Homo-oligomer: A and B are copies of this chain.
Amino acid sequence: MFNFPEYLFLQVGLNLTQICLPRECTEDEIIEEVLKLNQDPRVHGVYLHLPPVFLTGRVLNTVMRADAVVLLGAERMDIPPTWLRPGASVIHCGSAFLTGTTILITCVSDECEVDASSSGVGALTAVLRMQNVVQSSSRWAQQQQYRPWILRSLKLQPLSPVPRDIEISRAQTPKAIDQLAQEIGLLQEETEAYGRTKAKVRLSLLDRLREQPDGKYVLVAGITPTPLGEGKSTVTIGLVQALTAHLKLNSFACLRQPSQGPTFGVKGGAAGGGYAQVIPMEEFNLHLTGDIHAISAANNLVAAAIDARMLHEATQTDKALYSRLVPSVNGVRCFSPIQVARLRRLGINETDPSALTPQEVSSFVRLDLDPAKVTWQRVVDTNDRFLRKITVGQANTEKGHMRETQFDIAVASEIMAILALTDGLGDMKTRLGRMVVGSSRSGQPVTAEDLGVSGALAVLMKDAIKPTLMQTLEGTPVFVHAGPFANIAHGNSSVLADKLALKLVGEDGFVVTEAGFGADIGMEKFFNIKCRSSGLRPNVVVLVATVRALKMHGGGPNVSAGSPLPKEYINENLSLVAGGCSTNLKKQIEIAHLFGVPVVVALNVFKTDTQAEIDLVCRIAKESGASDAVPCHHWALGGRGSLDLAQAVKRASNQPNHFQFLYNQETPIVEKIRMIAQKVYGADDIKLSVEAQAKIDYYNQQGYGNLPICMAKTHLSLSHMPELKGVPTGFTLPIRDVRASVGAGFIYPLVGTMSTMPGLPTRPCFYDIDLDPVTEEISGLF
């Protein structure tokens, strides 16, 4: 057979496989081989080098769903439509042209079928074809490059009054997700559909577009909010709807996946609201593509492994433990790779299980976890307040080894923070392995890798690492990925989603990502933790404000969920507005400027806001240093209501940018905390509890001193006292305790107590949630 120059394909990263069949092969055998290769995503093409007699209709029918079909030197023939993917082209020519699972078919005459080592016409043909192949492969490589968007937006016809969120979402028919993926230049093999409206995007995209310059990177943060929230998510979604559906600029929103707990509790969904939503909102708010479920499974496997291990160590001798941990299989004992890794950490270089000394065996088999110092908690993605403090191990089978522990809501898991910060599978596996689950009786940290579970965790998380593609009400793309807590974790969506989106939007496009809580927390962590980890540099901060929150900061009465709003918030009150602008808004703008990034203030307009109030906010915001300040009407109007914001962001993104971190990683832990407290929160100083100081000493000793700081502070005030609005001064920030998420990679000082498990109210949202069994329509979500 003709020897195909496979290496030429490999040169351009193309895996083209030749099918070698005996000359006397049957049609069935050819079909079988083609099918097998055609289904293999690792194979980019098949070189079917066959005598014309075998290019039968059946063979051609087998070669299904190609991106392009090249008939090399073949007679013109009819290509059955079943054979073509949407967008496929049929090329009759002398050169190979390859993309995706291209099938390359050549008709050869018998005299051509000579060994490449022999000379003559066959070899010459071979050489010529090699040239063609090189040319066409280069063309293929070019095709792998950035593809401009051909996005068809969905038309929005906003109603007034604005209907309920679920009704708006249901009234709009989303595009098929594979169509959206195609429109924004994703290759077919880069997406994995999950139903019709969601798709996971493979990380191989980063590799394909590694030479492509990033787009502009926009962070949406907010002023210190009221307990009702000020609409950062809707501003984010409205902004991308405006940019892409109206200004025809490529843009991507990167959002956090919400916990399912609040969907059925008090808060409702998190897919935006009004005419700025991700659709279908019920898919966004429920299981999505299972990432949080995967996190729960991984988190709880670690927890089960911890308690089972403590029990087994407490009830078995070193020898019994060792013979079970390193069992004899068919008379052979050997360490698994994860056990070898533990041996290396213990300084044991032996690989023969029979050669360990009794001391080595003991240190290998005993993690010696101190039950009182286990820091790993179980999680559940339900608002289940009765799991806030529990005692486990009370069954007889656990032989009295009971202990107090707790469940957190799933998104509080360190694994969620890791998902949000990782930049790939290898990095994620490393971070999962180094998670500290507690410490031994001698004070040494015990990690997930010590438990032998880190490989299993990576397996459980292998799909969760891929961001989920969805769309806004106007058909523009959205990534939903990761949603770590904003207090004990950093509260930002994933680095990977941002990275993928920055490549996809192209150099002139925009990626709009959202930080949790107020700018003093979410934005500070975005810069100091997320950007530090990702290496990405932001171009613009959008600071979301509402007249309601500004009035509160200007001295307005208390605002609380469930109570009617006091009249100050319903009627015009310019002095309260001015008070809020010159305090909290101004301070939050200054915080962004600390990092050297221009600020656009987005005033999320409510129907009770007066023109005078709106004008006042915009004026003071600009006086306070904002590049621009504009009112936004996305909730009532969709993208059309955010056009001014989109224009303002576009202008600000062209301003010079002098991004800098607030602190160097090498600064001592206490100093890092102090810098955040003083420069960002406006505290006079910090005060460490004895416990906090002891923990800091311990972390320094363990080599964690260089980790960035993730403050766990209330979001309802710049200070640690939620009741202090505006810009509190003259306070000392108390640091009650300090903890570490070593896998995620940050130290988190606790300023006050943080609840990691919400509860259900007397009448939870679920009372109104229902499913019509005939139409399959969901009601009651908001």
Contacts and interface: CB of A to CB of B under 8 A. Distances in A.
Contacts of A386: 304, 307-308, 311, 392-393, 398, 401
A350 to B, nearest CB: 18
B425 A776 contact: yes
A154 interface: yes
A339 B321 CA distance: 56
A23 interface: no
B155 A32 contact: yes
A452 to B, nearest CB: 4
Interface string A751-782: 00000000111111111111101101010110
A81 interface: yes
Contact of A39 (B81, B174, B383, B390): B174
Interface centre among A155, A336, A458, A773, by most chain B C-beta atoms within 10 angstroms, is A773
B300 A382 contact: yes
Given A35-B152, A771-B429, A773-B425, A759 B462 contact: no
A768 B88 CA distance: 43
A764 to B, nearest CB: 7
Nearest to A194: B194
A679 interface: no
A313 to B, nearest CB: 9
A406 B39 CA distance: 46
A147 interface: no
Interface in A371-414: 378, 380-395, 397-398, 401, 404, 406
A307 B337 contact: no
Nearest to A33: B155
A529 to B, nearest CB: 23
Contact of A426 (B86, B88, B300, B774): B774
A303 B381 CA distance: 12
Nearest to A759: B308
A362 to B, nearest CB: 15
A206 interface: no
B404 A297 contact: no
Interface string A265-284: 00000000000000000100
Contact of A321 (B35, B326, B406, B762): B762
Nearest to A381: B297
Interface centre among A179, A316, A428, by most chain B C-beta atoms within 10 angstroms, is A179
Contact of A81 (B84, B155, B325): B84
Contact of A300 (B88, B175, B384): B384
Nearest to A758: B304
Contacts of A176: 39, 65
A36 interface: yes
Nearest to A282: B459
Contacts of A287: 290, 293-294, 297, 460, 463
B36 A154 contact: yes
A64 B39 contact: no
A338 interface: yes
A690 interface: no
Interface in A192-211: 192-196, 200
Interface string A334-369: 001111000000000000000000000000000000
Contacts of A148: none
A766 to B, nearest CB: 4
Interface in A1-58: 31-32, 35-36, 39-41
A155 to B, nearest CB: 5
A387 B377 CA distance: 13
B294 A384 contact: no
A286 interface: yes
A76 interface: no
Nearest to A89: B81
A195 B338 CA distance: 30
A173 interface: yes
A326 B762 CA distance: 10
A116 interface: no
Nearest to A174: B39
A704 B463 CA distance: 44
Interface centre among A62, A90, A459, A764, by most chain B C-beta atoms within 10 angstroms, is A459
Interface string A450-469: 00110110111011000000
A378 B384 CA distance: 10
A385 B404 contact: no
B760 A304 contact: yes
A303 B384 contact: yes
Interface string A169-188: 00001111001000000000
B35 A260 contact: no
Interface in A709-767: 759-767
A85 interface: yes
A780 B458 CA distance: 13
Given A81-B84, A771-B459, A300 B391 contact: no
B192 A195 contact: yes
A196 B199 CA distance: 11
B763 A324 contact: yes
A196 B64 CA distance: 16
Contacts of A64: 86, 179
A558 interface: no
A82 interface: yes
Nearest to A321: B762
Interface of A: 31-32, 35-36, 39-41, 62, 64-65, 81-90, 152, 154-155, 173-176, 179, 192-196, 200, 260, 264, 282, 286-287, 290, 293-294, 296-297, 300-301, 303-305, 307-308, 311-312, 316, 321, 324-327, 336-339, 378, 380-395, 397-398, 401, 404, 406, 424-426, 428-429, 452-453, 455-456, 458-460, 462-463, 759-771, 773-774, 776, 778, 780-781
5 contacts: A81-B87, A81-B89, A307-B386, A388-B398, A456-B770
For the complex of A and B, the 6 pairs showing the least CB-CB separation, nearest first, are A455-B770, A426-B773, A293-B293, A456-B766, A388-B395, A389-B395
